Amino acid sequence: MIPIDSVTPDEYPNQTNNPIDSQENRPDKPEEACGVFGIYAPGENVAKLTYFGLYALQHRGQESAGIATFEGTTVHLHKDMGLVSQVFNESILEELPGDIGVGHTRYSTTGSSRKVNAQPAVLDTRLGKLALAHNGNLVNTVKLREELVNSNCNLVTTTDSEMIAFAIAQAVNAGADWLDGAIQAFHRCEGAFSLVIGTPVGVMGVRDTNGIRPLVIGTLPGNPVRYVLSSETCGLDIIGADYLRDVEPGEVVWITEEGLASYHWSQKPERRLCIFEMIYFARPDSQMHNETLYSYRMRLGRQLAAESYVDADIVFGVPDSGIPAAIGFSQASGVAYGEGLIKNRYVGRTFIQPTQSMRESGIKMKLNPLKDVLAGKRVIIVDDSIVRGTTSRKLVKALRDAGAAEVHMRISSPPVTHPCFYGIDTDTQDQLIAATKSVEEIAKQLEVESLAYLSWDGMLEATREDKNSFCSACFTGDYPVTIPEQVKRSKLILEKVVV
């Protein structure tokens, strides 16, 4: 267990300088930031329920995991580097008693991959300790950090999440109660933040004024009703909680022994849910807009077939994220659906450098082509996105080596031309292949017979929601929250494009 008052900045070595994390070996996908989970359930084993909630949210972050529980005014905390199943076991969970739980699974976007940056962030205040778990990314971190340092806040980590916690603590220590102190802090934050905040008397769930990152509310059966907060509905399903509703943009829900209360801390909320949550990040069995994302992704595939049909013998998706769109493509086009790639689902993150011959062989550690299915066939391979193009090129080569006669690639989203500043780890703009090359040039580099992306309009029409209620800045460069120049210069180096 980590004593919550004894973590120092130099206690843990930086773990980011591993050769396996080179550009060549990084996944050719946008990387999600985090998954958050919270629970108010007197009489329940909240640590174990939080563990299973994080287990269901593991796809949102695989670097570190943590759980804080409140037993009255006492906080029990355990967090470490690794997967949820590696960080926790039965004996550790038994040391986390309490009625309130806050959990986090992390992929770092602000702050390096170090144990000290793992969450929840726990701080002392005059009203007791608070534990904060954050999904998203602030864009005014430089300004906020300067304000906090100038007011003698002893920042331990390099994360924007800790800054939010300190901003709350400052307001509480100045005389505010938990709710007012939190709301004061939210007004100091710009960017994307979906938060779960534990206190000795209750737990809060909050989303930024645009609701860029998701957060849902669930209930556990019983009397009185007990409440759960999760990044996605799959975190509710695993523990038998019923979906109640989403936390709304600009809303904070305050869950105590008196039940759930709702407050709109932002007077001008303007929904801008990240469209990539629907295309790729969230699990396909999670629900948004009263349906599973599997259904939406199938519609993307059907729209993709309508826009870019090509005659072929078989269509298949890149496991797992490309499969629903590939099925939809097959349904709309009449091209037979099959499996052309098998995924090794037991490959986690490895820190062992593969041999040179393994690197040259491409991506067979995770994906292996079915040679007898592909030999002599004209194939359509469907994926949800291309970021740098490195993995896509290796994949095409593997299909050729397996005997595919033609390879046509279809992407169920528009070209990614701009980096994200709201909690997704994307490269600088010059590393995004679609920012510097035309579709024809990309096709040539990938060595495919044809390449087509889904149109921006087609992507949004498939949501069956208001097109203006999504953030699609990674495709357009239209950022819903203004990016400070010094932050913008770190990633954005090219002109805005129209899709």
* Number of C-beta neighbours around residue 90 at 10 A: 8
Mean pLDDT of 337-350: 79
Q: Between 337 and 17, whose confidence is greater?
A: 337
**Rounded Cα gap, residues 423 and 215, in angstroms:** 14
Predicted TM-score of the model (pTM): 0.89
Round the average pLDDT of the chain to a whole number and report it.
Answer: 88
- Point out the least confidently predicted range of 157-161, 171-175, 208-212, 249-253: 157-161
Question: What are the two backbone dihedrals, phi and then psi, of residue 240, each rounded to the nearest 5 degrees?
Answer: 80, 20
Name the region of 254 (left: φ>0; alpha: ψ -120 to 50; beta: rest): beta
- Does 5 have pLDDT greater than 80? no
Q: Between 169 and 361, whose confidence is greater?
A: 169
User: Dihedral through CA 491, CA 57, CA 119, CA 16, nearest 10?
Assistant: -50
Q: How sure is the predictor about 366, in pLDDT bands with cuts at 50, 70 and 90?
A: confident
**Rounded Cα gap, residues 441 and 437, in angstroms:** 6
CB-based contact 135:193 (threshold 8 Å): yes
Domain 35-271 matching CATH 3.60.20.10: the answer reads yes
Q: How sure is the predictor about 157, in pLDDT bands with cuts at 50, 70 and 90?
A: confident
**Rounded Cα gap, residues 5 and 385, in angstroms:** 43
234 annotated as ligand-binding: no
383 annotated as ligand-binding: yes
**Rounded Cα gap, residues 91 and 47, in angstroms:** 11
- Point out the least confidently predicted range of 198-207, 257-266, 365-374: 365-374
Q: pLDDT tens for residues 349-361?
A: 555 556 766 665 5
Q: Which residue has the tokens 């990938």?
A: 446
By residue count, the chain amounts to: 499
Residue by residue, DSSP assigns 272-327 as: -EEHHIIIIIS-TTSEETTEEHHHHHHHHHHHHHHHH----SEEEE-TTTTHHHHH
321 annotated as ligand-binding: yes
Q: Choosing from 34, 153, 189, 234, which is the catalytic residue?
A: 34
297-343+359-463: what fold? Rossmann fold (3.40.50)
- Does 495 have pLDDT greater than 90? no
Residue 469 structure tokens: 């209620």
* Number of C-beta neighbours around residue 418 at 10 A: 24
Domain boundaries, the chain: 35-271, 297-343+359-463
- Does 144 have pLDDT greater than 90? yes
420 annotated as ligand-binding: yes
Mean pLDDT of 105-131: 82
Q: Which residues pair with 124 in a beta bridge?
A: 129
Q: pLDDT tens for residues 269-315?
A: 999 999 999 999 999 999 999 999 999 999 999 999 999 999 999 99
Q: pLDDT tens for residues 38-72?
A: 999 999 999 999 999 999 999 999 889 999 999 99
Q: How sure is the predictor about 112, in pLDDT bands with cuts at 50, 70 and 90?
A: low
Q: pLDDT tens for residues 173-195?
A: 999 999 999 999 999 999 999 99
Q: Is 396 helix (H, G, I), strand (E, B) or coil?
A: helix
Mean pLDDT of 220-241: 96
Catalytic residue list contains 34: yes
- Point out the least confidently predicted range of 8-22, 392-406, 441-455: 8-22
**Rounded Cα gap, residues 243 and 233, in angstroms:** 7
384 annotated as ligand-binding: yes
- Does 78 have pLDDT greater than 80? yes
The pLDDT score that the predictor gives to residue 153 is 85
- Point out the least confidently predicted range of 193-202, 362-371, 402-411: 362-371
189 annotated as ligand-binding: no
The pLDDT score that the predictor gives to residue 38 is 98
SS (H, E, C) 54-121: HHHCHHHCCCEEEEEEEECCEEEEEEEECCHHHHCCHHHHHCCCCCEEEEEEECCCCCCCCHHHCCCE
**Rounded Cα gap, residues 147 and 271, in angstroms:** 28
- Does 401 have pLDDT greater than 80? yes
